[in-house]
Amino acid sequence: MQYRRAGYGARTVAGARVSQRAVVTPVLIALNLLVYVLTAVQAQDFMRNDVSRLFNDGVLWPVGIAAADEWWRLVTSGFLHFGLLHIGMNMLALWILGRDLELLLGKVRFLAVYFVSMLGGSAAVFAFGAVNTGTAGASGAIYGLMGAILVAVLRLRLNPTAAIGIIVLNVVLTISIPGISLLGHLGGLVVGALAMVAMVYAPAKNRATYQTVAILLLTAAIAGLVLYRDAQLSAQLLP
């Protein structure tokens, strides 16, 4: 009672204030749609928007990162999509997964899980993927949300069958359909699950500190992997 009188109100298992409305999720969707429209208008083709200058300058291209220090590609690629079907499927998944997770985590924690998952997917592609292939899409972040949903279900002691089934189905589709980045999806999935463990299993006392440190450690690990791979590629590409 004293906790509520102090103005904190009811809290979720992650420490977020109980809310009935998601705000960040529709903003992320709107931002992705805006970038897609800009690339499509620039390319004058809503299906071949990947030929636009904006798309080419932001796609995850390992050679561009290693040879030209274009580090922004690790982030900007997460807001670019190949055609109408690609962005439609990703934004639908973001809407379905994001709303519930945002209400559980709160705005700041949700953004932390989303972006660290995005970076995890990008780092996996950069570190282990083909060096001269462009990769784009919010799928790394979305798979991170899938991993987060599974951890949340386990923490809340709910039946995990549906969450596991969705993840398995999506991984199978990723493997079966040519041109989809398995590395980006798995990287996001693993990092998102790890981030969510910190969010919902952190002790109530000093919860925010534990959560912040966990996200910082994950980010540092991702940065270390990227820098290690960058050194390898630089040695191969530059005399």
Which sign does the torsion angle of CA 192, 194, 197, 202 carry? negative
Residue-level pLDDT at 176? 79
State the chain's mean pLDDT as an integer.
92
- Judged against a pLDDT cut of 80, whether residue 55 lies above it is answered with yes
pLDDT tens, position by position, 105-140: 999 999 999 999 999 999 999 999 988 899 999 999
- Judged against a pLDDT cut of 70, whether residue 170 lies above it is answered with yes
pLDDT band at 5 (very low <50, low <70, confident <90, very high): very low
Give the chain's domain count.
1
pLDDT tens, position by position, 83-101: 999 999 999 999 999 999 9
- Residue ranges making up the domain that contains 35: 2-237
Beta strand ranges found along 70-146 (DSSP E): none
- Averaged pLDDT, 6-29: 84
Task: Tell me which residues are annotated as active site.
Answer: 139, 185
Residue-level pLDDT at 48? 94
Cβ-Cβ contacts under 8 Å for 191 (sequence gap 6 or more): 116, 117, 119, 120, 121, 144, 147, 218, 222
- Judged against a pLDDT cut of 60, whether residue 172 lies above it is answered with yes
pLDDT band at 4 (very low <50, low <70, confident <90, very high): very low
- Judged against a pLDDT cut of 90, whether residue 171 lies above it is answered with no
pLDDT band at 10 (very low <50, low <70, confident <90, very high): confident
Residue-level pLDDT at 151? 97
Cα separation, 231 vs 60, whole angstroms: 17
- Averaged pLDDT, 152-177: 88
Residues 44, 31, 166: CA angle, nearest 5 degrees: 105
Residue-level pLDDT at 78? 97
- Judged against a pLDDT cut of 80, whether residue 179 lies above it is answered with no
Tokens of 231: 């050194």
CATH number of the structural domain spanning residue 219: 1.20.1540.10
